[in-house]
Every structure is written in C-alpha cells, then in structure tokens.
Structure 1
C-alpha cells in the first residue's frame, strides 16, 4: 500500500476541487431545471400527452443520473475535507491522476474499480 504525502494530497485538492465544485454547480442547476420542467402545466391533447410522457421519462432518467453523480461529488469533497481525496477507499492506494482526470469523483483506483465491475 503506497501512501501519498500531505503535499501530494494538497496539490490534488487544489487541482480537482474547482473541477468538482464547478460540476456540482452544473448538476444542481440542471436538476433545478428538470424539477421546474416537471412542475409546468401539461398539454391536454392525446398526442401531446404521449410526447410529454416520453419527455418526462427522459428527464427523470437524467435527474436520477445527475443525483447519483452529485452524491459522488459531495462524497469526493468530503474526502478532501478528511485529507483522503485521491486515495482508494478500498485498498488505500493512490488513485492515478489519469483516472481522476476522467472521473474526478471516483473513490476507487483502477484495479479496485475493475475488480468491483467483475462481481
């Protein structure tokens, strides 16, 4: 198990905190727009209702995905507050910058993530 120095952790925090906060703000805004769309009055025609139902299903799915990502981002920010960001929650190894660049809120290193997917 390799540990990162406090300097490494601080540099990671400085690099990824703005990315996470910006994405958090984007998701909150998107979820507010979805909520607003659900609150709008609906059309009365049968054809319009069918289209609206399809749109609602898409919005609901986007909302669920957004909520899950928002929870993951908030957990990542929590790990930053605990000086544990960038450390795999399963094995304790550092998470590569390449992986954090792709998924900055990931709690797992590549090996543990792959092992979890195989289950």
Structure 2
C-alpha cells in the first residue's frame, strides 16, 4: 500500500507543480494596449490568481500527506485517531479526517 500511495501522491504533486508553473507563466504575459481587451485580461487574471491559490493549497495538502505517509501517520484521522476509510482516501488522497469528523 505504501509504495502505491506514495507513487500516486508524488504524481499528483508533479501535476500540481506544473499547473502552478503554467498559471504563473500566464499571469506574466504582456498586456494589450486596447482598453477593452485589458478589461477582459484583468478578469482572466482574477480567475488565474484564484486557480493558482487553490492549486497551491492543494499542493500543500498533498505534500503534507506525503510526510504523513512517510511517518506512518497516513490514513489516521487527526481528530479522533480512527482509520480514514480507503474509499475516502481514494477520493481525497490528502484527507486528514474521517467522514464523521469532517462533517
């Protein structure tokens, strides 16, 4: 289980790092000189900034899950100490709480 979960989390980490890099690149492009296009570009930048923030948060959670996996704490609820169901970990591999405590 360890090897499979570790591999999955590392792959997810790579995807998220690439996404952050791509969004960062998009945020650094030159703006148009046309005022109407600048308005659209600013709106797009807001969406990109939100996407970058959400991705950075998810990346932090994935890296934390990797640390918990390496320390043997992965899969245990940080609130009650009970095991987090395998189905929950499959759906949300960086879950830190069981369904009961997350509700």
Superposed pair shares fold, TM > 0.5: yes
2:13 to 4, 24, 29: 24
Pairing of 1:74-93 with structure 2 (within 5 A): 74-93=63-82
Residue 70 of structure 1 and its aligned partner are, at CA, apart by: 0.4
1:71 matched to 2:36? The reply is no
* Separation in 2, partners of 1:14, 1:106: 18
Q: Which stretches in structure 2 are left out of the alignment for 5+ residues?
A: none
| 1:47 CA displacement | 1.0
Using structure 1 for the length normalisation, give the TM-score: 0.83
The number of residue pairs the alignment matches comes to 103
**Stretches of structure 1 lacking an aligned partner (at least 5 in a row):** 1-10, 115-119
Deviations 1:46-71 (A, max 9, x none): 11101101110110110011011001
Task: Give me the TM-score of the superposition, normalised by structure 2.
Answer: 0.95
Higher relative contact order (CA 8 A, sep 6+): 1
Over the aligned positions, Cα root-mean-square deviation in angstroms equals 0.9
Q: Which runs of 4+ in 1 moved over 2 A?
A: none
